[in-house]
Amino acid sequence: MTLALVLIVAYLLGSIPTSYIVVYRLTGRDIRTMGTGNPGTMNVVDTVGLRAGLVVGLGDICKGMAAVGVAYLAGLSDRDAVLAGMCAVAGHDWSIFLRLDGGNGMAAAVGALIALLPEAALIAVPAAIGLYVLGISRRMAGIVGLLLLLALAYTFNAPEVRLIGAVVLLTFTVIKIFRFEGFSPARPGR
């Protein structure tokens, strides 16, 4: 029963429509009617601005971290914490508060990965941010950061369940991004 409750809480955490809330409070508009129509961090950055995008991104990252944290606070295993992270991403992607609409889940996945692999994240996250600041596209900086996170987690001998869970979580998220957005590293701002 505890696992089921934690997974429901994780899904509900992921379902909190951070971008919708922030954009509506700032502009009175629905983010799904702006820019690409995707209720995610990058669309907020592109249509409302960097400051609003940072608030949304941090909120979405915190959703993933909180979901994993709830699993650990409940005394559950690494496997269950990975499942909680996946439920948070699913909630973000198919939010009950947005009639099963949502973003692509990357920020929520990053939050779950930070909570699952904190030592590797301490290096990989600043590295990805640094690459973006140096002029690498958002998408490419993110990809490098995620690959670095996995490599560092392996190097630091992260528990196997967490490492495999991270690969599954990222695979799920990347497939959704490619399916709905495609991939073009040369597109400006991406």
pLDDT digit string (tens) for 129-143?
A: 899 889 888 778 888
Q: Which amino acid appears at position 129 of this protein?
A: I
Predicted local confidence at residue 138, as pLDDT: 78
Token pair 């960097």 in the structure block, residue: 50
Per the structure block, which two tokens stand in for 135? 């002029």
CA dist., res. 51 & res. 70, Å (int): 28
Q: How far is CA 21 from CA 18, 44, 64, 125, in A?
A: 5, 11, 17, 25
Give the Cα separation of 14 and 109 in Å (integer): 10
Under DSSP, is residue 39 helix (H, G, I), strand (E, B) or coil?
Answer: coil
What pTM was estimated for this model as a whole? 0.86
> With bands split at pLDDT 50, 70 and 90, how would you rate the model's confidence at 172?
confident
Structure tokens at 58: 């941090």
pLDDT tens figures, 106-160: 889 999 999 999 999 999 999 998 998 898 887 788 888 889 999 999 999 999 9
